[in-house]
């Protein structure tokens, strides 16, 4: 069972990070972007991709 969980976590974690980043970008586009300069989105994308 533990081995299966480790395997699943290893495979799924990239998708989780991707989903989290997508959610952050969606929130940013809807809420934060109007309040910040246009350069903020690129910065957030860089931070998200670089971890």
Rg (CA), the chain: 15
Residue 51 has pLDDT above 60, yes or no: no
Give the start-to-end residue ranges of the domains of the chain.
13-50
* pLDDT tens figures, 14-44: 677 777 777 777 777 777 666 665 556 666 6
At 8 the pLDDT is 57
What sign results for the dihedral spanned by CA atoms 11, 14, 20, 23? negative
The pTM (predicted TM-score) of the whole model is 0.35
């Amino acid at each position: 069972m533990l081995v299966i969980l480790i395997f699943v976590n290893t495979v799924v974690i990239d998708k989780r990070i991707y989903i989290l980043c997508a959610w952050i970008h969606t929130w940013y586009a809807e809420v934060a972007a109007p309040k910040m300069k246009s350069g903020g989105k690129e910065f957030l994308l860089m931070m998200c991709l670089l971890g």
